[in-house]
Amino acid sequence: MQAQIIRHLDIPGVYPAPQSDVRFDVAKSDWRNGIIVRMPNHLGDAIMALPALAAFKQALPKYCALAVIAPAGQKPLYRALPQIVDQVIALDAPHKFWSDKIRHKIRVFRAGVGVLFNNSFRDALMMKFARIPRLFGYDARCRKLLLAGSLPLPERPRHVAMKIHQANLYYALAEAFGAAPWDGKMVGFQLDPAVTLPETLIPFAEKRNLLILASGAAYGAAKRYGADAYHVIAEKWIQSGGAVVAVGSSGEAAIGDEVLAHLPKRAAVNACGKTDLAQLMKLLSCARVAVCNDSGTMHLAAALGVPGATVFGPTDYTSTAPIGEWSLILSPTECAPCLRRTCPLKHHMCMTQMPPETVWEELLLLANATSEKAERN
């Protein structure tokens, strides 16, 4: 059996959220000074929520503002969206109860409406303690009594594709407020020109033929495509005249070293742990193409308009496919998606049986397509 290749996935049309007749009734006076949105903790989820966030901004009365509550590390993401986000309330410990200082910042904002993109009971309670009059979100984890309006949360099937994209789940909340249907497009970013890259990365960012590799994945080892396969792709790209940068967290530096082992240093560099989010965004914006595992970096690259390819194995592409011009490469295994952090069958076939040549061929198609598009423009 051959790998299944999915190109340019029509997310809104193919994997929409379930239809709902629920509409949230919010009068003009209910908004007070605006809306405050609790964003997801994980970078990839936060990016998939951005189209809905933009829809909330459009729905606001002109005198109202939009604030987000998000992990401190995500601040550069929202600062690159000044047309949408007016204020960022940063959480240094997003998995804990909020401090008095955080709750005070929320009260001072004086939002009339709060929306929770996550399903946390704790965060709904914290927003109530911060005196937000009306909260909205999905009915999850026994928090319905805290919400002025809610949507039913679809059940997550086991070992079966959900066929509901996470971006559509977030957007369904915006539609309940009266937003027009999502057109499938990502929001536009305004990157800070003052952000500077580490000196070792500047020559690579200036190259026209830059490939970004994100070979790690915080979710777990099960969804990591092999470092040896990434190495083959990197070697082929360099042989074709390109340059390669491996990105990831400091904990993934060893994986980056393995991917780039014995490749010429003039054409390959391991940047794992050497960039913050703002620098990563700038570096990605310089790339021609990317190859990533299903990860926050994959979603970020796609959101910034970088074409790329990823191998999906244990995770569900119908739920977390990147929003952009990406090739999704699916292994013909009956056990996927299992949604496990480590392979329960110990063979990891959904990743190990995918030859790097298949990924390389998709990468060339994307690179050639972007070149032709650039020449037409």
| Domains located in the chain, CATH noted | 11-176 (3.40.50.2000), 202-376 (3.40.50.2000)
Of the candidates 96, 92, 84, 101, the residue with the CA atom closest to the CA atom of residue 37: 84
For residue 120 the two structure tokens come to 């946390």
pLDDT for the residue numbered 97: 96
Q: Which run of H or of E encompasses 155?
A: none
Identify the residue with better confidence: 338 or 25. Answer: 25
Give residue 258's pLDDT: 96
Q: Are 7 and 331 in contact (CB under 8 A)?
A: no
Confidence of residue 377 (pLDDT cuts 50, 70, 90): very low
Task: Give the mean pLDDT of 206-234.
Answer: 88
Rounded mean pLDDT, 299-304: 97
As a whole number, the mean pLDDT across the chain is 93
Among 49-53, 87-91, 340-344, the minimum mean pLDDT is found in 340-344
The residue among 317 and 223 whose pLDDT is bigger is 317
Question: Among positive and negative, which fits the CA dihedral 48, 342, 352, 225?
Answer: positive
H-helix or E-strand containing 207? none
| DSSP at 106 | H
Q: Report the run of H or E that residue 78 belongs to, with start and end.
A: helix 75-79
Mean pLDDT over residues 240-245, rounded?
97
Average pLDDT over residues 278-284: 98
Task: Give CA–CA dist 140/155, Å, rounded.
Answer: 10
pLDDT at 220: 65
pLDDT at 159: 79
Least confident residue range of 24-33, 60-69, 258-267, 340-349: 340-349
Least confident among 195-204, 245-254, 308-317, 362-371: 362-371
Would strands 326-330 and 308-312 be described as parallel, antiparallel, or unpaired? parallel
Give the residue-averaged pLDDT of 318-343: 86
Mean pLDDT of 286-293: 96
* Residues near 314 by beta carbon (within 8 Å), at least 6 away in sequence: 222, 223, 336, 337, 338, 339, 340, 343, 350
Question: 3-state DSSP: the chain helix, strand, coil percent, rounded to 5?
Answer: 35, 15, 45
Length reported for the chain? 377
Q: Report the alpha-carbon distance of residue 107 to residue 94 in Å, rounded.
A: 18
Average pLDDT of span 308-324: 93
| Mean pLDDT to the nearest integer, 169-191 | 96
pLDDT band of 1, cuts 50, 70, 90: low
Query: How far is the C-alpha of 27 from the C-alpha of 191, rounded, in Å?
Result: 35
- What's the pLDDT at 331? 80
What integer is the mean pLDDT of 196-205? 97
Torsion angle, alpha carbons of 97, 156, 164, 166, to 10: 20
Q: How far apart are CA 308 and CA 141, in angstroms?
A: 36
CB 376 within 8 A of CB 326: no
* Residue pLDDT, tens place only, 33-46: 999 999 999 999 99
Residue 345 confidence (pLDDT) above 90: no
DSSP class of residue 32 equals B
**pLDDT above 60 for 374:** no
Give the distance, in angstroms, between the CA of residue 157 and the centroid of all CA atoms in the same chain.
22
353 vs 336: CA distance, rounded Å: 13
184-220 burial, b at 16+ Cβ within 10 Å, e below that, comes to: bebbebeeeeebebeeebeebbebebbbbbbbbbbbe
Question: What's the rounded Cα separation, in Å, for the pair 34 and 113?
Answer: 7
What are the two backbone dihedrals, phi and then psi, of residue 303, each rounded to the nearest 5 degrees?
A: -65, -30
